[in-house]
Amino acid sequence: MEGQARILEGMHSLEPECLELRAAGVMDESAASQAAALERGAVFSVFEELRFVLYAAVASITAGLGLLLKENLNRIGPLALIAALALAAAGCYATALRTRMLGRTRTVGGDYLLLLGALIVSADLGFAETQFHWLGSEWQWYLIILAAFHAIGAYALDSPLVLSLALASLAAWFGIEGRISTNLGAHAVIYAATLLVWRAANKQLSGSAQFGAVFENFAANVGFWGALAWCLTPGMRLYGIATLSVLAAACIVKALRSGEAIFAVYGVTYSALTLSCLEAQIIKDSLSAAVFALMTVVGGALLLWNLSRRVKAAQA
């Protein structure tokens, strides 16, 4: 390996360090060889670049489709349009099903093709509901139907991306938006609890470990938004503080047990920022409020620092 020429020009290479690490026994032979090959440029993955372009492509198609449906396309007629979209979605699902039946692992391209299919189904079902009002005044049940459809698709085809869509549809059914509103607190906390129950049942449903990570991250974030919304709503602050405490404790315990730093970040950052907002609301004197908020943020940073070290130790 030492004799091989470097392919790269420029860019600082850590190949000598890889060799030293192997010699010191810190890395095993295969890991060191792979790392050295990457540093040397003998192996180069464009996986992330492809993922970026595929996302942009799917976003562009979905945006165009949204505009198409918004204009109703009376010339084509709703039935023809619904059928055409269903056919397109079926094509996308068919490739994923074929890969599954052949026992192959889906590539990143296949993942995004499946995501496109799921998004087309979402748009198609929404469009069909606007045209035919099958659910009448209970139209919001289409979001639950969508969530169920995507959940079944996600489990059948083992796709965390499609599972994310199922969770987004469920969040929409719960009325969770990207902004703080009066009702957000209760809805977000119930939604987070639902996800945790679902996460508990994940193994029985033969969901992968990645699904568990999707549930945990969504539940933590939305749960903290709910706590924040309650903390900022007069009359609900006690519920907010109680929820914040429980969630923060749960996230920190999770981080220390699993060695996943992101849960320590959730637990401390959301708590410090929420408490700072709360102090600004309840302390009348601006200077005192700012001093308390600064103490809270500094305390949060110290706690996060301490936890980061312990999480690293847990990883080791």
Which residue type sits at 121?
Answer: V
Cα angle 281-242-218, degrees, rounded to a multiple of 5: 95
Selected from 126, 156, 158, 310, the binder of another protein by CB under 8 A is 126
- Buried-exposed string 212-247: b where 16+ CB fall within 10 A, e elsewhere: eebbbbbbbebbbbbbbbbbbbeebeebbbebbeeb
Q: Which stretch binds another protein (CB under 8 A): 78-86, 121-129, 195-203, 225-233?
A: 121-129
> Which residues within the stretch 266-285 sit at the binding site for another protein (CB under 8 A)?
268-269, 272-273, 276
Query: Per rule CB under 8 A, is residue 48 in the interface with another protein?
Result: yes
Please say which residue, 144 or 156, places its beta carbon nearer to another protein.
Answer: 144
Selected from 115, 229, 231, 250, the binder of another protein by CB under 8 A is 115
> Which residues within the stretch 155-184 sit at the binding site for another protein (CB under 8 A)?
160-161, 163-165, 167-169, 171-177, 181, 183
Under a CB-based contact definition with an 8 Å cutoff, are residues 311 and 261 in contact? yes
The token pair that represents 63 in the structure block = 């945006």
Selected from 1, 53, 83, 253, the binder of another protein by CB under 8 A is 53
The token pair that represents 21 in the structure block = 């690490």
> Which residues within the stretch 67-106 sit at the binding site for another protein (CB under 8 A)?
67-68, 70-71
> Which residues within the stretch 219-258 sit at the binding site for another protein (CB under 8 A)?
none
Query: Per rule CB under 8 A, is residue 210 in the interface with another protein?
Result: yes
Selected from 4, 76, 77, 141, the binder of another protein by CB under 8 A is 141
Selected from 109, 201, 249, 282, the binder of another protein by CB under 8 A is 109
- DSSP line for 51-76: HHHHHHHHHHHHHHHHHHHHTTTTTT
- Give the integer Cα–Cα distance in Å for 26 and 133: 64
Cα 93 from chain centroid (whole Å):
22
Q: Which residues contact 313 (CB under 8 A, 6 or more apart)?
A: none
Query: Per rule CB under 8 A, is residue 8 in the interface with another protein?
Result: yes
Cα angle 64-65-69, degrees, rounded to a multiple of 5: 120
With CB under 8 A as the rule, give the number of residues binding another protein. Answer: 120
Q: Of the candidates 177, 174, 169, 201, which has an alpha carbon nearest to the alpha carbon of residue 189?
A: 174
Query: Per rule CB under 8 A, is residue 34 in the interface with another protein?
Result: yes
Query: Per rule CB under 8 A, is residue 196 in the interface with another protein?
Result: no
Shortest distance, CB of residue 2 to another protein, whole angstroms?
17
Shortest distance, CB of residue 124 to another protein, whole angstroms?
10
Query: Per rule CB under 8 A, is residue 262 in the interface with another protein?
Result: yes
Q: Which residues contact 297 (CB under 8 A, 6 or more apart)?
A: 272, 273, 276
Shortest distance, CB of residue 161 to another protein, whole angstroms?
5
Query: Per rule CB under 8 A, is residue 294 in the interface with another protein?
Result: yes
Token look-up 């869509």 returns 165
Q: Which stretch binds another protein (CB under 8 A): 117-125, 199-207, 227-235, 241-249?
A: 117-125
Query: Per rule CB under 8 A, is residue 142 in the interface with another protein?
Result: yes
